[in-house]
C-alpha cells in the first residue's frame, strides 16, 4: 500500500515537471519569436528595414573622383557620396539610399539633352530606379548666340544599400559610383553636375536594445496568457 502511494507521488511530480518544462519552453519560444519580430522591424533584416528621413538632404553631397572624356560629349565619371555630420543628427544613423540628378555644365547654343548610357554602384549597393525630372536650364549668350532659359528633362538615378551594414555613417564617404553618359551638347558642355535630390536613412539598432525589448515583449505576452487563463478558470 505504501509503495503504491509513493509511486503515485512520483508520477504526480513527473507530470508537474513536464507541465513546468512545457511552460518554460513556450516562454522561451515566445521570447525568441519576439526577438526575430523586433529584429525585422528595427532593420537587422535588410528586407524589412524601415527608412526614416533622419539625415537631412543638405548633409548629403557628391564629388567626382575621376572623369574620362570620350569625345563629342561622351564621359565616364566616378563619383563618391559624402554624408556630413550635422547638429542634432544621430551618429548611429546610416544613409541607405539616395537619388541623384545630372545637369549639364556649360553654355550651349541649343538646349542640352543629357543621356545616361550605363551606371554601376560599388559593392553592397544597387541601382534601383532610373528616371527623369524637369530642370530649369539657362544658356547661350555671346559668343554662343542669344541667351535663353528653358525647361529640360534631366536624368536621375536612385541607388540603394543592399543591407543596412553597407549604409554610410555621418562623417563618412563612399566612392565607386560609375556613370557613363552623353551631355547632349557636344563641346559646349563640360560634363554633368551631380546633385542629390532625395535621401533615405535608417537608425542602426543596438543589439542590447533589441534583446531587452524582445525579452520584455516576450514576458509581457507570457503574463498576458497567464492572466487570461486565470480569468477563464474563475468563470
In the chain, the percentage of residues whose pLDDT exceeds 90 is 53
CB atoms under 10 Å from CB of 72, counted, come to 9
Q: pLDDT tier at 21 (50, 70, 90 boundaries)? A: low
- ω into residue 91 within 30 of 0, thus cis? no
Residue 91's pLDDT is what? 81
d(CA 135, CA 139): 13
Distance in angstroms (rounded) separating the CA atoms of residues 180 and 69: 10
pLDDT at position 133 is: 96
Q: Where are the alpha helices (H) located in the chain, listed in sequence order?
A: 2-42, 207-234
- CATH 3.40.190 for the 52-203 domain, yes or no: no
Task: Spell out the domain ranges in the chain.
Answer: 2-44+207-228, 52-203
| Residue 6: pLDDT over 60 | no
3-state class (DSSP) for residue 114? coil
Q: What is the mean pLDDT of the chain?
A: 77
**Residues 159-188, mean pLDDT to the nearest whole number:** 96
Using an 8 Å Cβ cutoff, are 88 and 124 in contact?
no
Q: Tell me: the pLDDT tens digits for 26-41?
A: 443 333 333 333 333 3
Torsion sign across C-alpha atoms 171, 175, 179, 184: positive
Cα atoms in the Cβ-side hemisphere of radius 13 Å centred on 86: 12
Pick from 169, 188, 155: nearest CA to 72: 188
Contact (CB, 8 A) for 192 and 42: no
Tally of CA atoms within 13 A in the half-sphere of 115 that contains its CB: 9
Q: Rg for the chain (alpha carbons), in Å?
A: 30
Polymer length in residues for the chain: 235
pLDDT value for 89: 78
Q: What is the pLDDT of residues 176-234, one digit of tens each?
A: 999 999 999 998 999 999 999 999 999 887 654 444 444 444 544 554 555 555 555 55
Contact 95, 167 (CB under 8 A): yes
Q: Based on DSSP, count helices (H) and strands (E) in the chain, helices before strands.
A: 2, 8
Give the tens place of pLDDT for each residue, 130-157: 999 999 999 888 887 889 999 999 999 9
Quote the CA–CA distance of 90 and 92 in Å, as a whole number. Answer: 5
Per-residue model confidence as pLDDT tens digits over 90-128: 788 999 999 999 999 998 999 999 999 999 999 999 999
Q: Given this model, what pLDDT does residue 210 score?
A: 42
Amino acid at each position: 500500500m505504501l509503495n503504491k502511494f509513493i509511486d503515485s507521488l512520483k508520477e504526480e511530480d513527473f507530470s508537474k515537471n513536464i507541465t513546468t518544462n512545457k511552460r518554460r519552453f513556450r516562454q522561451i519560444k515566445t521570447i525568441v519569436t519576439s526577438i526575430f519580430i523586433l529584429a525585422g522591424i528595427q532593420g537587422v533584416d535588410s528586407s524589412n528595414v524601415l527608412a526614416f528621413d533622419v539625415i537631412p538632404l543638405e548633409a548629403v553631397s557628391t564629388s567626382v573622383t575621376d572623369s574620362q572624356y570620350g569625345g563629342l560629349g561622351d564621359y565616364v565619371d566616378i563619383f563618391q557620396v559624402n554624408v556630413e555630420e550635422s547638429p542634432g543628427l544621430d551618429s548611429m544613423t546610416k544613409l541607405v539610399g539616395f537619388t541623384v540628378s545630372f545637369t549639364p555644365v556649360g553654355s550651349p547654343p541649343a538646349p542640352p539633352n543629357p543621356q545616361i548610357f550605363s551606371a554601376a554602384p560599388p559593392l553592397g549597393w544597387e541601382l534601383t530606379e532610373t528616371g527623369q525630372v524637369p530642370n530649369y536650364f539657362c544658356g547661350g549668350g555671346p559668343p554662343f548666340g542669344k541667351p535663353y532659359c528653358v525647361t529640360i528633362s534631366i536624368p536621375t538615378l536612385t541607388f540603394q544599400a543592399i543591407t543596412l551594414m553597407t549604409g554610410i555613417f555621418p562623417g563618412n564617404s563612399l566612392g565607386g559610383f560609375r556613370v557613363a553618359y552623353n551631355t547632349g551638347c557636344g563641346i559646349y558642355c563640360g560634363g554633368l553636375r551631380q546633385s542629390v535630390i532625395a535621401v533615405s536613412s535608417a537608425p542602426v539598432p543596438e543589439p542590447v536594445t533589441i534583446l531587452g525589448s524582445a525579452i520584455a515583449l516576450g514576458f509581457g505576452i507570457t503574463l498576458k496568457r497567464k492572466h487570461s487563463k486565470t480569468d477563464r478558470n474563475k468563470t
